[in-house]
Structure 1
Amino acid sequence: MEDIILESIGYILPAAVTGLVAYYMFNGFIRQQNSEKSLELLAQKKKESLPIKLQAYERMLLFCERINPVKMLVRVKPVSENTQDYLQLLIASVEQEFEHNLVQQIYISNDSWTAILATKNAIINKLKQVAETSDSANSLRENVIIHYSKSLPPTDTAISFIKNEVKRLL
């Protein structure tokens, strides 16, 4: 009886060891295959999303250029001599540009979006500040141009930030 048990163990033990070795080898192979497929899918996804992200950054850079106070004053002429009317026209122009590009926040980083929001708000606040000391629409234009000839507009900071983000993407 002992011989039968020893003989059975002699057959079962090598089969079990071979089975375990085969299991671990196939398990490792399957894991490696899954990992390679995941990396391929991730690379494909990045390849497809990069053009969309770059386009979003381009649009936000264009937005910053369009709300640059000096460039905006050249493009948006006053309709009357009333300072408040011109101020409202300028603010409406900034807000319209912003709303047109609002969806781009999906594709750009949170830091870039925060910089763009800060830029937009800084420009609107500065326009309001300068309007308080201006007595006509032309005076407002002159005062804004004088102010930004002495200091960089916030749009330059946002544009620089956007360019750095794009360099990191590429």
Structure 2
Amino acid sequence: MEQQLVELLMYSIPALITGIIAYFFFREHIKNENNRRLFLMQKDLKKEALPMRLQAYERMTLFLERIVPSKLLIRVAPLSSDKNDYEKLLIDNIEQEFEHNLSQQIYLTSDCWSIIVAAKNTTIQLIRKANMSEKTDTANKLREVILTEMMENQAPSSTALAYIKEEITTIW
């Protein structure tokens, strides 16, 4: 009986060791295969997402260029001489342009999006501040005050544009 137990152990122990080694080998192999598949899938997703991200940066660059006050004033002429109507028209134009590009935020980093929103809000505040100026009594005067402000200071969107350019370099 003792002899049979020794024989049983002589066959069982090598089989058990082989089974354990095979288990760990296949577990590592499966883990490596899953990691490889995940890497390839992410690589393909990045390849497909990169053009969309670049397009989002392009669209937001265009938005920021369009809300530069000097360019905005050239593009959007006053409909009447009322300064409040013109202020509303300018702000509505900025908001409409922004809403048109609202979906682009999913392709941008949250920092970049925050800077773009801040540039938009600062531009609107600049227009409102110019409208409240004592010098402003007509729509054309409002245009002059805003243009004078732009000659003295940098447009709010220029900071956001610089940030976008910097962020694009990290993508490459």
Q: Under a length normalisation based on structure 2, what TM-score does the superposition of the two structures give?
A: 0.95
Find the aligned partners of 1:22 and 1:168 in 2 and give their Cα distance. Answer: 44
Find the aligned partners of 2:3 and 2:150 in 1 and give their Cα distance. Answer: 100
Q: Which amino acid aligns with 2:33?
A: Q
Deviations 1:84-134 (A, max 9, x none): 111111111111111111111111111111111111111111101111121
Deviates more, 1:59-68 or 1:97-106: 97-106
Identity of aligned residues (%): 43
Deviations 1:28-50 (A, max 9, x none): 11111111111111111111111
Structure 1: runs of 5 or more not aligned: none
Q: Counterpart of 1:163?
A: 165
Deviation at 1:154, TM superposition (A): 0.6
Q: Counterpart of 1:51?
A: 51
Q: Which amino acid aligns with 1:168?
A: T
Q: Counterpart of 2:146?
A: 144
Q: What SS does the aligned partner of 1:152 have? A: coil
What is the total number of aligned residue pairs between the two structures? 170
Q: What SS does the aligned partner of 2:108 have? A: coil
Deviations 1:121-162 (A, max 9, x none): 111111011111211111111111111111101110011111
Map residues 1-170 of structure 1 onto 2, 5 A cutoff. 1-133=1-133, 134-170=136-172
Structure 2: runs of 5 or more not aligned: none
Deviations 1:56-80 (A, max 9, x none): 1110010000000011111111122
Runs of 4 or more above 6 Å deviation:
none
Q: What SS does the aligned partner of 1:135 have? A: coil
Find the aligned partners of 1:160 and 1:54 in 2 and give their Cα distance. Answer: 15
Q: Under a length normalisation based on structure 1, what TM-score does the superposition of the two structures give?
A: 0.97
Q: Which amino acid aligns with 2:131?
A: A
Find the aligned partners of 2:83 and 2:27 in 1 and give their Cα distance. Answer: 75
